[in-house]
Structure 1
Amino acid sequence: MFSAEENEAVKLPDVVVSADFRPSTAQKTAVSLTEVKRETIEARGAQHLEEVLNLAPNVNISAGASRGRFFQIRGMGILSQYDNPVNPSVGLIIDGIDFSRLGGAATLFDIDSVEVLQGPQGTKLGPNAIAGAITMRSAEPTKEFKMRAQAGLGEYNTRNLGVAVGGTIVEDQLLGRASIYTHKSDGYMQNDTLGRDDTQKQDELTFRSKFKLFATEDLTLDFTLMHVNVNNGYDAFTLDNSRHSQSNQPGVDTQNTNAFAVKANWQASDAVIIQSEASYLNSSSTYSFDGDWRTENDFEKHNRDRDNYSFELRALSDKAGRIFNDSTDWTIGVYRFVQDEKFNSRVDYRSFGPDELTQLTGTYKTENTAVFGQLDSHLTEKLILVSGLRVEDFNANYADTGFVRATPSNVKKNVSEVLLGAKLGLNYQAQANQLIYTSLTRGYKPGGINNNATLPQNQRQFNTEYMWNFETGFKSSWLDGTLVTNLAAFYAKRLDAQTQSSAQISGTGNFVEFYDNAARATHQGVEASMDWFVTDQFRMLGSLGLLDAKFDSYQNPDSTAYNPQGRQVAHAPRYTFNLGTEYYTNEKWTLRANVEGKDAFYFSDSNSAKSNGYALLNASADYQYDKHWKVRVWARNILDKDYATRGFFFANNPANGFLVDEKYIQYGEPRVAGVTVTYDY
């Protein structure tokens, strides 16, 4: 919380972000980004990333699971994953560890900040960030002993409890911090068939620990250890689009993840800094659901066991190491990432016939090896030319055994590509508090494999997608630092765009799904935000995203299928917005409220079904008892609006003989209110 002292105007603090190779403040980083800080996370009673992402312009979420865990930025991003291997368009990085496609792990206790980077980040983050990236940073260890204990209660039998402790372990040498947090809720569905109200439950446990070792005067080591155990239910869809499920075998959305990372920062000399990062992640997950949403025995279950290994080594120039007549900072590095995934899928729709059974077991292994570099050339005292390049060797090997709807499957596919990402930009620091920037970037997303044995051979593999993105922005601080504004405009061309298509198998609830390079698309728009202390007691915050993202051309392999050419792409609302206020009545009370929402958007590129636009009202009130205790009452979606986080359009209703396509939606959370008590020491 911000407060005024001695009647001086409150100035907004500089925020250090990690969007570039060199840490910098948000206002001096030449990229469109939204930062959600700890105070905002806690004011919303937010437990998971899905509950704060509406604050970022031109960002959307696809659920189709217990949580919204598939992300879209500027209209780009995967919408779901079943048995097919996929490559993400939006990277998820938690404390430096790649959690892409593992969005269920994005819990928020003891998270200091969430950064949403809009636009391709390929020169720094590689192939997982053609649309952008989301990074989450937990609290760092401190020299002083600090402790936080938090407990909360809310509607739908919501309860949570967490503790974080940190401080000096060895004087002047080792710092540490650890946190553990559990969150439980019955969820927002009532299963009338089973007489239960917890089939869409949330049951999440998160443990994090960090250690900072000052090995020598010039060498610092950071260690991170995480354990995330998600044991959620999945029972979201109904034939009448209500919150009353009729399923007889509701599914689960579970994830058990252990991850470890070590970072080293070595001041090798006055000229060179050497940095390295290594990480390991193992995650086992199960995703299952009742396929007919009724009392038949149709069911899908997808198990995955995934291991990630990564290593990166960078050399950065320090002041004495600048080149070209002391005008240019440089960064060079190498990167290695290996992902080994084993899967087992069972798709059973035999109520429609004895052949409607799929059983697949297989492996999907990818290897990325990259070299990269960046030059920051000071053309003048105020003007910097940024030039970056990344060359990446990508290899993927897929193999499966089993059968797909009575068709034997023994698919073996290999992908081998050399990928190229680049960035060219100009940053002009007009004044100390005003940055103007432009950039031209080339992002990439590697090709992949469709594993459905019933597809023709020419649809079994798809190629790399590339995107050229031009962006210009203006970041400013006004009125003695009490008003911060950001404005960015972008124009992007997607070439060989990877699109997800699906077709229902006639007379069944089963689908044939595949990815293809079916399209070219243009994505253009504007992102704006402001943060303003109008007085030392009253603060206003807001953001606005405008997006025009359309298919210039679209070639579906099935000429009789729906064609979205000329249409807005899926999950790309034309506008998103957020407007909030904070009122610091005195040293004890803080009142907050905000309205956030978005325009209607298409659910898929394979049909014309759309969501409804919506606006949600949220509010909270904090009471600071003394310097240790805080009580917060909060509510989200106060007006109890129904809104969709995932949707389908297909025939699944037996009353219509499975012949009439209808729209089915998964709802976001209803009105939820609660109270949280926090003790800080």
Structure 2
Amino acid sequence: METAASISVLDESLIFESGAQHLEEILGNAPNVNYASGTARARYFQIRGVGDRSQFQEPLNPSVGLLLDGIDFSGIGSLGTTFDVEQVEILRGPQGTLHGANALAGLISINSNTPSDEPYHYLEGSVGDYDTYSLGGVSTGPITDSLLYRVALQQFYSDGYQKNDFTGDDDNADRDELTSRIRLRWLASERHTLDLGMTYIDMDNGYDAFSLDNTRTTLSDQPGKDTQESFAASLATNSDLHAATLETRLSVAKTDITYAYDEDWTFEGFDPDGYTSYDQYDRKRHSISAELRLLSNAQSRLFNDRSDWVIGAYHLGNKEDLDRTYTFAPFFTSKNDTDSYALFAQLDTALTDQLTLITGLRWEYRDTDYSDNNGVDFNPDDDMWGGRLALEYQWRDNTLVYGSVSRGYRAEGVNGAILANVESTDAPDVINALESVSTFDEETLINYEMGVKSRLLDNRLQARIALFYMDRDDQQVRGSLLIPQDGGATTFVDYTSNAAAGNNYGTEIEIDWRATNKLLLWANVGLLKAEFDDYVNVFEEDLSGREQAHAPKYQYATGGRYDLTEHLFLRIEVQGKDSYYFSDRHSEQSDDYNLVNASLGWEQARWRVVLWGRNLTDEDYTVRGFGSFGNDPRNGYVTEPYYQFGEPRVYGLTAAYAF
């Protein structure tokens, strides 16, 4: 309510009352935020129609930043479990000052609970359909007068929502997820604090999502997997230096991902004209980051005590190794190392008692070193910059009005698989097509935004409204080329290219109304228009004026929570989303859909129990779709659409005890 930007905060009560285990189960509450599946858990996110939808062989330059307790996990969002999470913050629009190249469209920040200075212990367990269960515990409090701790551990399991008729299994898409965190806070003195955090998340999930008949029943003889094992540690300090405040953070993270699938979606011998193929990607990412911020205080404000400031420096080093094992291609391995160095500053100046000018600037140098066993080497270095200029006006004591212009950026890159395939054909038109998308340029985005945030009716009503227009230059667009193989198989070669320009504009409206002491109502709406201004793809198709992928025209979440008695409450909400293109490569679209969620809860001083259900009408809706190939030998591999379905009707019971 006090920040001049479009922000959604999804808090701990929403997570618990929804029975949510993962970020994907609560994102529908935030306007103009979407995700793409094609994975066991949502890994790729879109904000205001901007964001990635997949990653196969090529390196990824994320458009949406993802932070877990301040540690960068952009592009690998499967680890977004929500146990012992205090809140999820979604910042829409470029975060060029705050976060740099990984936050062209915005930022999702997952913040777990911090150590408490009072002893507190917590147990939570859930049971649900599809053989779902979880068990978790939290312990926090002081070790000494100056040392606090918090430990959280949870194991979650579900059979998943598919079944495999060939193997006879109903857990071929199971979810086996372990979340553990340790946090220590040392109150070294009244002016110095040190925080140490360690996180280990192990997502050992199955992946068997697609069938030739577009049902939840598969026939794969080699069901895939989508696992992510991540370990991260961070050390943060906060020091009062009298004339300023010094904040530092050092973090390291190690992630191993295996993504594999049965490419033919069937079994050997399914059809005389069929083929058999398996594709597996083993990706290892190691990162280290360091950040230093110096912030003004009462002794160091500038311009007659009217300007607060922050200056800082940042480094992020990522080393990513990929091994691909594929039936129809030789073993592939690549290395992609990037080092980013940034300097940033922000100045908040009170022009009057009500009017504040905010100026921010970030310069970033990025050095990339990509190589693979196909002989491709790509070593660019880039200077990029982003920033923000905003005016905010505090009208009376209850309304904030703001306007801003911000600039974001996304680094250039190489399509290694494209370069490797240039010599595999003698056809001049194919060679020209491949060479035209061998590399891609940096994208820049300028976001113009106006907003109003107001507290009304004696603070019983909170309203947040934002209008935005995003102007994208050299817009990076994902596509794929299809290379036929013997026996009917088709190899995908993913690539990124540039559209000349695009624009995304719309509004976000969020309203929370305490109608009575017992009744809370809310309505969140996102309206979006996202289209290409000028884009002719590698196939010479003119897509100018077409809507961009994964950019629904509207999204909404509305509902209420009513206290039936002092301890008993009922919560009902409806979430909806318009149809949208799955890809810029083809014309298949999702259906629009509306989901009904509800929970009945009982709360007492130490106990919380909630009976929850999601998608109560059991509506079939899709979260990923393909439409540029055929995979069914029974009809001669004619091109047709294939879909991955979202969560069906699920229900469960969660109980928690605090002591």
Quickly name the TM-score band, shorter chain normalised.
over 0.9
* Cα shift at 1:298: 0.5
Matches within 5 A, 1:172-321: 173-269=146-242, 271-296=243-268, 297-321=276-300
- The residue that corresponds to 2:352 in the other structure is 380
Residues 522 and 552 of structure 1 are in contact (CA less than 8 Å); yes or no, is this contact kept in structure 2?
yes
CA drift of 1:451 comes to 1.4
Paired residues of 1:564 and 1:606 also in contact (CA < 8 A): no
C-alpha distance after superposition, 1:230-250 (max 9, x if no partner)? 100000001111000011101
**Distance (Å, rounded) in 2 between the aligned partners of 1:639 and 1:574:** 23
Question: Which residue is 2:415 aligned to?
Answer: 450
**Which residue matches 2:594?**
615
Deviation at 1:676, TM superposition (A): 0.7
Once the two structures are TM-superposed, the CA of residue 104 in structure 1 deviates from its matched residue by 1.1
> Which digits, 9 at most, give the CA deviation of each residue in 1:293-348, with x for residues without a partner?
11143011000111110001011110221112222111111100000011101222
Tell me the equivalent position of 1:41.
15
Give deviations 1:616-661, integer Å, cap 9, x for gaps.
Answer: 000001112x311222100000000001111101211112211x21
Helix, strand or coil at the partner of 1:381:
coil
1:59 aligns with 2:33: yes
Report the alpha carbon displacement of residue 291 of structure 1 after superposing the two structures with TM. Answer: 0.5
How far does the alpha carbon of each residue in 1:436-487 deviate from its partner, in whole angstroms, 9 at most, with x for none?
0110001001111211111444532211100011001000111111111100
Match of 2:56 among 82, 85, 95: 82
Q: How does 1:384-463 map to 2 (within 5 A)?
A: 384-401=356-373, 409-452=374-417, 453-455=420-422, 456-463=434-441
- Residues in 1 aligned to 2:155 and 2:43: alpha-carbon distance in whole angstroms: 19
Q: Distance in 2 between matches of 1:327 and 1:536?
A: 40
Deviations 1:327-384 (A, max 9, x none): 2111111100000011101222xxxxxxx32421121000000101011011001100
Cα deviation digits, residues 521-544 of structure 1 (max 9, x gap): 010000001111100001101100
Deviations 1:186-218 (A, max 9, x none): 000010010000010000000011111111221
Q: CA deviation at 1:182?
A: 0.6
Query: Which residue of structure 2 aligns with residue 671 of structure 1?
Result: 649
Q: Give the whole-Å Cα distance in 2 for the aligned partners of 1:589 and 1:422.
A: 48
Partners of 1:366 and 1:457 in 2: how far apart? 24
C-alpha displacement of 1:565: 2.0
Tell me the amino acid that sits aligned with residue 373 of structure 1.
Answer: A
Q: Write the mapping of 1:572-591 to structure 2, written as runs, cut at 5 A.
A: 572-591=551-570
Q: Secondary structure at the match of 1:642?
A: coil
Cα pair 2:499 2:532 within 8 Å, conserved: no
Residue 657 of structure 2 aligns with an amino acid whose one-letter code is Y
Aligned equivalents of 1:504, 1:55: Cα separation in 2: 37
Deviation per CA, 1:396-431, whole angstroms, max 9, x where unpaired? 111111xxxxxxx11111121100101111011112
Q: How does 1:282-681 map to 2 (within 5 A)?
A: 282-296=254-268, 297-348=276-327, 356-401=328-373, 409-452=374-417, 453-455=420-422, 456-506=434-484, 507-559=488-540, 562-624=541-603, 626-649=604-627, 650-658=629-637, 660-681=638-659
Helix, strand or coil at the partner of 2:102: helix
Q: Which residue identity does 1:34 align to in structure 2?
A: S
Question: Is the 8 Å Cα contact of residues 395 and 416 (structure 1) preserved in structure 2?
Answer: yes
Q: Return the offset for 1:557.
A: 2.7
Instruction: Say which SS state the counterpart of residue 505 (structure 1) adopts.
Output: strand
Residues 198 and 232 in structure 2, CA contact (< 8 A), matched pair in contact too: yes
Whether contact under 8 Å (2:62, 2:74) holds in the other structure is yes
Q: Which AA in structure 1 matches 2:102?
A: N
Q: Distance in 2 between matches of 1:634 and 1:89?
A: 33
Query: Matches of 1:433 and 1:139 in 2, distance apart?
Result: 29
Q: Compute the displacement of 1:140 (Å).
A: 1.2
How many Å separate the matches in 1 of 2:542 and 2:28? 29
Partner Cα distance (1:92, 1:347) in 2 = 30
Q: Could you tell me whether the CA contact under 8 Å between 1:520 and 1:552 is conserved in 2?
A: yes
* Structure 1 position 580, deviation (Å): 1.0
1:35–1:115 Cα contact (<8 Å) kept: yes
TM-score normalised over the length of structure 2: 0.95
Shift of 1:587: 1.5
Aligned AA for 2:489? T
- What TM-score do the two structures reach when normalised by structure 1? 0.92
Whether the aligned pair in 2 keeps the contact of 1:38 and 1:111 (CA below 8 Å) is: yes
CA RMSD, 1 decimal: 1.0
Matched residues in 2 for 1:592 and 1:207: separation?
A: 29
Q: Is the 8 A contact 2:536 2:543 kept in 1?
A: no
- In the other structure, the counterpart of 1:17 is none
What is the Cα deviation at residue 512 of structure 1? 2.1
> Aligned partner of 2:351: which letter?
L
Amino acid at match of 2:610: R
State the Cα deviation string for residues 173-194 of structure 1 (Å, max 9, x = none): 1111010001000000010010
Matched, 1:113 2:87: yes
| Other structure's SS at 1:510 match | strand
Separation in structure 2 between the aligned mates of residue 72 and residue 59 of structure 1, nearest angstrom: 6
Q: More displaced, 626-635 or 47-56?
A: 626-635
User: Number of residue pairs matched?
Assistant: 635
Deviation string, structure 1 residues 602-628 (Cα, Å, up to 9, x no partner): 00001110000000000001112x311
Please list the CA deviations of residues 498-517 of structure 1 after superposition, one character each: whole Å capped at 9, or x if unmatched: 10111322453321221011
**2: CA distance, partners of 1:151 / 1:664:** 36
- Give the corresponding residue for 1:148: 122
Instruction: Specify the code of the residue in structure 1 equivalent to 2:89.
Output: E
User: How far apart are the structure 1 equivalents of 2:490 and 2:167?
Assistant: 22
Letter in 1 for 2:344: F
1:333 and 1:524 map into 2 onto residues whose CA distance is: 32
CA offset digits 1:75-132 (Å, max 9, x no partner): 0000001111011101110111111122111000000101111111111111111100
The question of whether the paired residues in 2 share the 8 Å contact of 1:563 and 1:606 is answered with: no
Task: Write the distance in 2 (CA, Å) between the matches of 1:292 and 1:565.
Answer: 34
Structure 1 unmatched runs, 5+:
1-26, 349-355, 402-408
8 Å Cα contact 2:452/2:466 also seen in 1:
yes
> Quick check: 2:537–2:543 contact (8 Å CA) kept in 1?
no
Q: Deviations over 1:227-278 (max 9, x none)?
A: 0011000000011110000111010011111100111111001x31111111
Are the counterparts in 2 of residues 253 and 287 from structure 1 also a CA contact under 8 Å? yes
- 2:445 corresponds to which letter in structure 1? M
Aligned residue number for residue 430 of structure 2: none
Q: Distance in 2 between matches of 1:114 and 1:431?
A: 30
Helix, strand or coil at the partner of 2:299 = helix
Whether contact under 8 Å (1:291, 1:509) holds in the other structure is no
Aligned counterparts of 1:527 and 1:630: Cα–Cα separation in 2? 33
Give the Å deviation of 1:30. 0.8
